[in-house]
């Protein structure tokens, strides 16, 4: 009602303007007359009266005079409203020509009527409402014009219609044209007394109110959110809105008073029925608004594309892309917001990456739907690993370093060791002298003699790639050459064996072109091998090792610095 106050005020102002513009039609003029009804004679009180007598009915009449006061007659005027009498003192019996007994006056009554009828107006058949001095009526309005009659009685009653006066009767008592109206009416009696015009002003309202629904806040298609308010705005151009009614989902009909906040309702579909009634009971046709109240926030999911490794943390690289998607139960996803340590909160449009120094990074994100339901902010942590692993090479034994060169043999096991303190090493690779790239899985050997350049690198578990490094070594697969010499010439030959005297001395030696000889071992006639020229032993050249006359078999082993070994056996005879 309050929201219609200004509209009602404007309507009343317009109505007043319309009423003031309605002027009384031209009023008919009625002649004042004398009227006879039965034995009664009625005279309009202001009319002159002339009295005359005749000795025969319908015969010649002579006007009566008043000699004492000639001015009182011809004409005379009746002095009393209502009945007046013209009298003779005593009545004479027509047959006896004597006074009647008992005596009685002869009275000639004549009725003077100088007062016009009084007409009232009554309305029926329609609701009535008064506001600001204006009377409003609804549908089915009828009116009646009852008259307080004068002495002579009612002749006719008139009322204004379409700019003219017409005679009133019951068939013309219906009023069914909407708008402001000023109704003029009056009555006239049988002697022509005409009532002063009376009038009444009123407004006929035949049109129901109009109610509009308004959603204050967010609304997407037919979906509203909990922050939305629901309002019904009703207007009526004449009598004003009496009440607006609504029901939700067929629940009991209520009078609408204030805005309805959606957050007070449960989530789900709503069928809102509403209509308004004005102050003269014009009822609006039922209207229906169907909505869905969505109070459920969307659900967002963060996913990675590319490098990722899960251990104590979820490790990613600078190349890892992050994608956000969200789903919503009803209104649909409007926007997804996110932030990282290097990106202020913004709307997600396309995949993004983590940047900045190595370490743990938080990605914060949440989604909002089309009716402003926002999910609680989520946080997921990722460890940004932008550091490549570090790989070292190990040349196992045997190995020997000399003259700026590392020497190894084909037995030397070579291994790669990768270190990565973040996501951890994943794979190591190497190639030898521009050969094919090989995945390092276990220690390996190099078989072919010669200089070898081994290039290698590693990747970690998020595919950070190490710049290649190299190591170099010379593969020495050539054994030393053994030399066995005696201190004197042989003295003979027997059974294909050289014969030496029992004082002969033997000298052992070995040469190696790359690393040099590391040790020489010997065994005489199956004895344990002894080191030649060892400080703990006496060389064969320094004692009588062959003093007995017999056959000798000397086995000699020579090893170089990388373990390449040569074996040599010499058999000979000693004669004493």
Q: What DSSP line would sit under 82-93, residue for residue?
A: EEEEEEESS-B-
Mean pLDDT on 483-502: 93
Cα–Cα distance, 516 to 369 (Å, whole number): 82
344's enclosing H/E stretch is: strand 343-347
pLDDT of residue 1: 40
pLDDT of residue 10: 39
Cα–Cα distance, 436 to 457 (Å, whole number): 14
Residue 369: what are its φ and ψ, rounded to 5°?
A: -95, -175
Q: Are 354 and 316 in contact (CB under 8 A)?
A: yes
| Displacement of CA 441 from its chain's centroid (Å) | 56
Mean pLDDT on 541-562: 88
Mean pLDDT on 299-304: 97
pLDDT in tens, 237-293: 999 999 999 999 988 899 999 999 999 999 999 999 999 999 999 999 999 999 999
Confidence label for 4 from pLDDT (cuts 50, 70 and 90): very low
Angle made by CA atoms 153, 158, 161, in degrees to the nearest 5: 170
pLDDT of residue 366: 98
pLDDT in tens, 113-141: 999 999 999 999 999 999 999 999 999 99
Confidence label for 362 from pLDDT (cuts 50, 70 and 90): very high
Confidence label for 308 from pLDDT (cuts 50, 70 and 90): very high
Cα–Cα distance, 510 to 482 (Å, whole number): 4
Cα–Cα distance, 472 to 400 (Å, whole number): 13
pLDDT of residue 55: 87
pLDDT in tens, 436-453: 999 999 999 999 999 999
Cα–Cα distance, 98 to 270 (Å, whole number): 105
Confidence label for 171 from pLDDT (cuts 50, 70 and 90): confident
pLDDT of residue 172: 86
Confidence label for 331 from pLDDT (cuts 50, 70 and 90): very high
Q: What is the torsional sign of CA 34, 37, 41, 43?
A: negative
Of 25, 44, 21, 26, nearest to 34 by C-alpha is: 44
Q: Are 348 and 326 in contact (CB under 8 A)?
A: no
End-to-end CA distance of the chain: 150
3-state secondary structure of 140: coil
Q: Are 553 and 524 in contact (CB under 8 A)?
A: yes
pLDDT of residue 20: 39
C-alpha distances in Å from residue 474, one per residue of 444, 457, 558, 559: 15, 21, 20, 17
Mean pLDDT on 11-32: 67
Which tokens belong to 486?
């005696």
Question: How are beta strands 122-124 and 141-144 bridged, if at all?
Answer: antiparallel
Mean pLDDT on 181-198: 96
pLDDT > 70 in the chain, percent? 94
Q: Are 131 and 239 in contact (CB under 8 A)?
A: yes
C-alpha distances in Å from residue 111, one per residue of 1, 50, 117: 59, 15, 15
Q: Are 504 and 489 in contact (CB under 8 A)?
A: no
DSSP 466-493: PPPEEEEEEE--PPPEEEEEESS---EE
The count of other CB atoms within 10 Å of the CB of residue 184 is 18
pLDDT of residue 88: 85
Q: Which is more confidently placed, 17 or 45?
A: 45
Cα–Cα distance, 446 to 436 (Å, whole number): 14
Question: How are beta strands 134-137 and 154-161 bridged, if at all?
Answer: unpaired
What size, in residues, is the chain?
576
Look over the chain and give the mean of its residue pLDDT values, rounded to a whole number: 91
pLDDT in tens, 30-87: 999 999 999 999 999 999 999 888 988 888 989 888 888 888 888 999 999 999 999 8
pLDDT of residue 364: 98
Q: 26 pLDDT exceeds 70?
A: yes
Cα–Cα distance, 22 to 162 (Å, whole number): 10
Which tokens belong to 529?
């091998």
Mean pLDDT on 151-169: 93
Q: Are 444 and 411 in contact (CB under 8 A)?
A: no
Delineate the domains of the chain, giving CATH numbers in brackets. Answer: 1-45+81-205 (2.60.40.10), 210-293 (2.60.40.10), 299-384 (2.60.40.10), 390-475 (2.60.40.10), 481-575 (2.60.40.10)
| Displacement of CA 490 from its chain's centroid (Å) | 113
3-state secondary structure of 65: coil
Cα–Cα distance, 318 to 440 (Å, whole number): 26
pLDDT of residue 538: 58
């Amino acid at each position: 009602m309050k929201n219609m106050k200004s509209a009602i005020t404007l309507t009343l102002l317009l109505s007043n303007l319309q009423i003031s513009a309605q002027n009384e039609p031209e009023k008919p003029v009625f002649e004042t007359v004398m009227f006879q009804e039965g034995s009664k004679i009625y005279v309009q009180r202001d009319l002159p009266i002339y009295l005359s007598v005749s000795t025969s009915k319908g015969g010649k009449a002579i006007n009566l005079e008043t000699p004492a006061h000639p001015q009182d007659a011809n004409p005379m005027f009746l002095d009393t409203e209502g009945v007046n009498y013209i009298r003779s003192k005593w009545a004479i019996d027509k047959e006896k020509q004597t006074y009647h007994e008992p005596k009685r006056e002869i009275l000639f009554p004549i009725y003077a009527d100088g007062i016009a009828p009084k007409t009232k107006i009554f309305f029926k058949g329609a609701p009535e409402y008064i506001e600001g001095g204006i009377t409003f009526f609804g549908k089915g309005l009828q009116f009646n014009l009852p008259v307080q009659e004068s002495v002579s009685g009612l002749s006719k009653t008139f009322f204004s219609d379409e700019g003219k006066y017409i005679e009133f009767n019951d068939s013309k008592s219906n009023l069914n044209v909407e708008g402001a109206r000023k109704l003029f009416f009056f009555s006239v009696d049988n002697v022509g007394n005409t009532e002063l015009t009376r009038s009444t002003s009123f407004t006929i309202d035949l049109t129901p109110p109009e109610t509009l629904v308004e959603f204050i806040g967010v609304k997407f298609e037919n979906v509203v959110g909990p922050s939305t308010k629901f309002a019904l705005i009703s207007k009526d151009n004449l009598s004003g809105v009496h009440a607006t009614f609504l029901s939700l989902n067929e629940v009991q009909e209520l009078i609408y008073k204030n805005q309805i906040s959606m957050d007070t309702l449960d989530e789900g579909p709503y069928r809102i029925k509403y209509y308004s009634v004005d102050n003269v009971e014009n009822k609006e046709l039922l209207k229906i608004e169907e909505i869905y109240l969505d109070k459920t926030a969307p659900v967002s999911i963060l996913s990675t594309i590319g490098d990722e490794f899960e251990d104590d943390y979820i490790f990613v690289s600078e190349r890892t892309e992050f994608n956000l998607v969200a789903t919503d139960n009803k209104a649909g996803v409007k926007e997804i917001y996110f932030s990282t340590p290097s990106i202020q909160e913004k709307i997600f449009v396309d995949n993004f990456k983590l940047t900045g120094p190595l370490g743990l990074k938080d990605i914060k994100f949440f989604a909002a739907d089309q009716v402003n339901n926002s999910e609680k902010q989520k946080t997921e942590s990722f460890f940004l690993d932008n550091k490549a692993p570090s790989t070292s090479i190990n040349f196992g034994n045997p190995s020997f370093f000399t003259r700026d060169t590392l020497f190894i043999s084909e037995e030397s096991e070579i291994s790669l060791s990768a270190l990565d303190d973040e996501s951890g090493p994943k794979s190591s690779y190497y190639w030898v002298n521009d050969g094919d790239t090989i995945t390092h899985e276990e220690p390996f050997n190099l078989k072919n003699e010669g200089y070898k350049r081994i290039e290698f690198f590693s990747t970690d578990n998020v595919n950070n790639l190490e710049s290649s490094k190299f190591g170099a070594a010379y593969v020495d697969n050539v054994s030393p050459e053994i030399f066995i010499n005696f201190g004197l010439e042989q003295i003979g030959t027997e059974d294909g064996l050289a014969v030496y005297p029992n004082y002969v001395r033997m000298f052992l030696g070995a040469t190696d072109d790359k690393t040099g000889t590391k040790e020489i071992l010997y065994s005489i006639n199956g004895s344990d091998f002894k080191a030649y020229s060892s400080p703990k032993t006496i060389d064969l050249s320094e004692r009588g090792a062959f003093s007995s006359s017999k056959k000798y078999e000397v086995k000699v082993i020579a090893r170089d610095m990388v373990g390449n070994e040569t074996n040599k056996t010499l058999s000979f005879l000693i004669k004493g």
